[in-house]
Amino acid sequence: MQVIKTKDDIKNIITAYKKENKTIGFVPTMGALHEGHLKLITEARKENDIVVLSIFVNPLQFGPNEDFEAYPRSLERDTELAELTGADIVFAPSAKEMYEGPPSYTVKVTERVNVLCGKSREGHFDGVATVLTKLFNLIRPDRAYFGMKDAQQVAVIDGLVKEFFFPVHLVPVETIREEDGLAKSSRNVYLTEEERKQAPILFKSLSNAKELIENGERNRDVIVEKIKHMIQMQTNGIIDYVEVLTYPDLKEIKELSGNIIIALAVKFTKARLIDNITIEITS
């Protein structure tokens, strides 16, 4: 496995692979790899000749109250995990390599961002879209892999790919869960013992909502209230939001139809957990 740190080197390597008609699968990350990232690498390995993992802590997607400097960085550990999981290349540029100075051009995202977690993270997805535009142009992947744990990010990237005609196929990968249904997250370690027992209720409430829809319920408000009631009755968490929206457009909807997402965020003592499910309603 190669570890590449400059944009010129990665461009030259990608050009050589393209001349050999190799397919390229791309997994963009900010490092601190966990089981979710490794699942993305595994899926990319199945479908491509070459797997490229990027590790770049992107300063543009950190808000004023989010500590860019404190974000965990563990390149040696990450590269070991990436190699063991099947990556061929780790692209790990410095901030100076990606942004030689204050950016002269950035991508402004105006759709799919003013809902869910995006409501409280102004400018975050502008940073995500800007760095992915750079990375897509450098890596030129055939397929790019993103976890559905952050379904809003997947929706925003779907819009980016379509808006700028990137010749890349977006591959969403299902959320990895514990045996009791809790979505795996680095934040789970901050749950108290009692909160950890309660946390699976989040996915249980989503599963219950899905069952209601499968049994014919189409009223958005009914679904939201059922989820809120279950969480309030069975956990000590404070609900940040419960939303039912079209997917991937993330538009409000009253009568459920087509592709939808049911998403929630719940605050516990030291952890804010998010989860979601997507459903295709055909009748």
Residue pointed to by tokens 């966990």: 34
pLDDT tens digits for range 35-56: 999 999 999 999 999 999 999 9
Q: Is 229 marked within a binding site?
A: no
Q: Hey, where are the domains in the chain?
A: 2-173, 186-278
Question: Which of 37, 124, 169, 229 is flagged as catalytic?
Answer: 37
* Assigned CATH topology for domain 186-278: Pantoate--beta-alanine Ligase; Chain: A,domain 2 (3.30.1300)
Q: Which CATH architecture has domain 2-173?
A: 3-Layer(aba) Sandwich (3.40)
Q: Is 37 marked within a binding site?
A: yes
Q: Is 61 marked within a binding site?
A: yes
Q: Is 124 marked within a binding site?
A: no
Q: Is 35 marked within a binding site?
A: yes
Average pLDDT score over the chain: 94
Bridge partners for 261 per DSSP: 245, 278
| Residue 229 designated active-site | no
pLDDT tens digits for range 222-265: 999 999 999 999 999 999 999 999 999 999 999 999 999 999 99
Q: Is 234 marked within a binding site?
A: no
pLDDT tens digits for range 121-171: 888 999 999 999 999 999 999 999 999 999 999 999 999 999 999 999 999
Global confidence as pTM: 0.93
